[in-house]
Amino acid sequence: MPLGFSFDIAKRIAFNRQRSFSRFIIRLSIAATTLSVAAMILTLAFVNGFQQTVASKIFSFWGHIRVQHYEAGKSLIAEETPFTYDSSISHIIQTDNNILRVQAFATKSAVIESKGEIEGVLLKGIDRGYDSSELKSFFTAGNWLQFEDSNYSKQIIVSKALADQLNIGLNDTLKVHFVSSIDDSRTYRKLQVTGIYKTGIEEYDKLFVIGDIQLIRRINEWRDDQIGGYEVFIEDYTKMDSVSRHLSEQLPTEWMSRTIREVYPNIFDWLNIQDVNRDVIFIVMSAVAIINLITCLLILILERTRMVGILKALGAGNWTIQKIFLYHASVITITGIVLGLLLGIGICVLQQLTGFIRLDETSYYVREAPMIIIWWQVLAITVGTAIVCYASLIIPSLLIRKVNPVKAIQFR
């Protein structure tokens, strides 16, 4: 037989416009493959975008790692034991090449009073050297804090959730009540709302207000060089566990280094569940594509049983005939993969441009479904789908070896 014999016959069958039941099955198989590939691309893009977007919100507010004094049994989301700024500790932290910047902070429990309503909060104190670029992206109104040289700033930034709850407006003056950590005495300060932020993360928006660390020092009677801890930003967040372990080994025993994942494990555990959802969708979509292609090829073989018998009678070998149907199935597979790529990537790009897929921000921490396309993953989906489909097509094509030429020619 000539080298292109199988391909020529496959091409004639594949592009035959004669109406038949197999033609409907072929279209159904192409549609199933298209939807499977598109669903896998969309799933990966959404999981990538969702995990990175939510994680970046968390990191923007607290950094990737927190370094502070170790206190057994104490919650990581609580007022810190103060320590004096130590250049040697700062040097240990900054010597790691993965670290981008280190920022001092302190927190203080407080109660905000506004128009007869009160709400407990945690004041996060920062200084004038704090890099505000990431937090400013969450602003819905107002400006960043203005720090004073000789006194503490009388400005605070509150969340939109807190502003809505207490009916707080921009430039309103609030009473903020504190309890002294020295003698449990109560005091308050009148502070002006200079900015309103919204991260969409309930754990932040309902708890934190941002103010001057000098105010916390004044309330707690700390010295001007005392802080609550360091928040550390690193270049690649996937390395924060290894960087934190390295810091723990280098720091004195009375210090501790904790990743933000350890501070807010519930959020990151929830994000990791998305990987399970992704894997389930991959398994289901792969099964759909495989079952449809196997069914399609079986129907093609059964419909062409008489042709198989005639080719065998003319001397065509089993593998030659198998290749006819494998070539035909290749057209279906490649068409489905290409259409799936176009559909999946097209929807991702459309979502990036328009944000037409909306989410409940209180449940998902984002208003629009974030899509991040990682091209090596798209390539892996393409190659993996092709390999799995071809491997699954070999099995039904073996049916050709069981066809008896005499009986097949008589087949109607």
User: Which is more confident, 74 or 186?
Assistant: 186
pLDDT category of residue 2 using cuts at 50, 70 and 90: very low
Q: What is the pTM of this model?
A: 0.78
> Which pLDDT value is given to residue 221?
86
Write the pLDDT tens digit of every residue in 328-362.
Answer: 778 888 888 999 999 999 999 999 999 899 988 87
Report how many helices (DSSP H) and strands (DSSP E) the chain contains, helices first.
Answer: 15, 12
pLDDT in tens, 126-144: 998 888 888 888 999 999 9
pLDDT at residue 327, as a whole number: 76
Residue 233: C-alpha distances to residues 77, 133, 134, 253 (Å): 18, 13, 11, 22
Burial class (CB in 10 A: 0-12, 13-18, 19+), 282: middle
Q: Are the C-beta atoms of 240 and 260 separated by less than 8 Å?
A: yes
pLDDT 10s digits, 225-251: 888 888 999 988 888 889 999 888 888
At 170, list the tokens: 């921009």
What is the per-residue pLDDT across 45-61, written as a single tens digit (0 to 9) for each?
999 999 888 888 888 88
Give the integer Cα–Cα distance in Å for 338 and 340: 5
- pLDDT computed for residue 179 by the predictor: 82
Q: Is a pLDDT exceeding 60 seen at residue 263?
A: yes
- The average pLDDT across 384-388 equals 85
- Does the pLDDT at position 318 exceed 80? no
Please name the residue that has the structure tokens 């429990």: 109
Tell me the average pLDDT across 265-287: 84
Question: Chain-wide mean pLDDT for the chain?
Answer: 83
Cα(160)–Cα(206) distance, integer angstroms: 9
